[in-house]
Amino acid sequence: MTPVFGHGHLRLYLLKLLDESPKHGYELIQALSERFGGTYAPSAGTIYPRLAKLEDEGLVTKAADGRKTVYEITDAGRAELASREGELNSIESDLTDSVRRLADEVRSGVGEAMKSLRADLASAARQAREATDATSQSYSSWFAFDPTEDARGEPRSGADARPAGETSASAEASRDASRNEIRDVDIALAEFRQSVRTALRSRGARASVPAGTAAAFARRLDEVRASLLDDLKK
């Protein structure tokens, strides 16, 4: 992301914010976020070391307010602001440009994320269609097998033959129901796979994926697979 403050400028801008009113660290972070329209908010690790340095230089003081620490500008801090008024005006101008650049970067990032999401959704839909087609093709031939015929297509005899009065309607309905179940499982698997991939990519874009994620994922899949296979054996 584009740097927001030049060297030493954040330190001076903190003095400006404290000159407006005493604030604790979180209020300073919120104030900066508001100035940037939510496109930038410094971390506590950025703010507090600078406040500590300002305190060491005698430019701010701090006092406990319950569990919070409130910072207040000193006369020496106001004197520094006054002596660097021109530099502060330049910082304000630079901040306007920074807000514009950050907004452009956010819009660009959102646009790229939407493109990636659309591509992922299209890929998931294509995989689901392919899975459905493959399932229909592979299982249609299996379910087309007529148990009243032998390998040569001739009627079976004896115990293997279907009773003369039995119709094929119930058998066909059962085959249709099985095909539908298998198709829905394949579609669910494709959608599950794509949703997990999208979630992992999104996390990877924001922060590192936690160590052990793959092992935990594999372990949970093994548990689900074992449970489902047990159900299918019943």
pLDDT of 176 over the 90 cut: no
What does the pLDDT read at residue 184? 75
**What mean pLDDT is reported for the chain?**
75
Range of the domain at 125: 110-143+170-207
Check: CB of residue 209 under 8 Å from CB of residue 203: yes
82-91, 129-138, 148-157: which range is least confident on average?
148-157
Same domain assignment for residues 75 and 127? no
Same domain assignment for residues 53 and 125? no
Q: Which residues contact 9 (CB under 8 A, 6 or more apart)?
A: 91, 94
Check: CB of residue 75 under 8 Å from CB of residue 61: no
Q: Which residues contact 182 (CB under 8 A, 6 or more apart)?
A: 135, 139
Same domain assignment for residues 135 and 188? yes
198 in a structural domain: yes
Average pLDDT over residues 150-176: 62
Average pLDDT over residues 188-214: 76
What does the pLDDT read at residue 149? 52
Same domain assignment for residues 28 and 114? no
Same domain assignment for residues 65 and 17? yes
pLDDT of 141 over the 70 cut: no
What does the pLDDT read at residue 113? 56
The C-alpha R_g of the chain, in whole angstroms, comes to: 34
What does the pLDDT read at residue 5? 66
Which sign does the torsion angle of CA 217, 223, 227, 233 carry? positive
From start to end of 54-197, where are the E strands? 60-65, 68-73
Tally the domains of the chain: 2
Same domain assignment for residues 59 and 23? yes
Check: CB of residue 44 under 8 Å from CB of residue 50: no
The per-residue pLDDT for range 59-76, each reduced to its tens digit, is 999 998 888 899 999 999
177 in a structural domain: yes
**CATH of residue 35:** 1.10.10.10
DSSP state letter for 24: E
Q: Which pTM was predicted?
A: 0.41
Average pLDDT over residues 38-51: 84
31 in a structural domain: yes
Check: CB of residue 47 under 8 Å from CB of residue 41: no
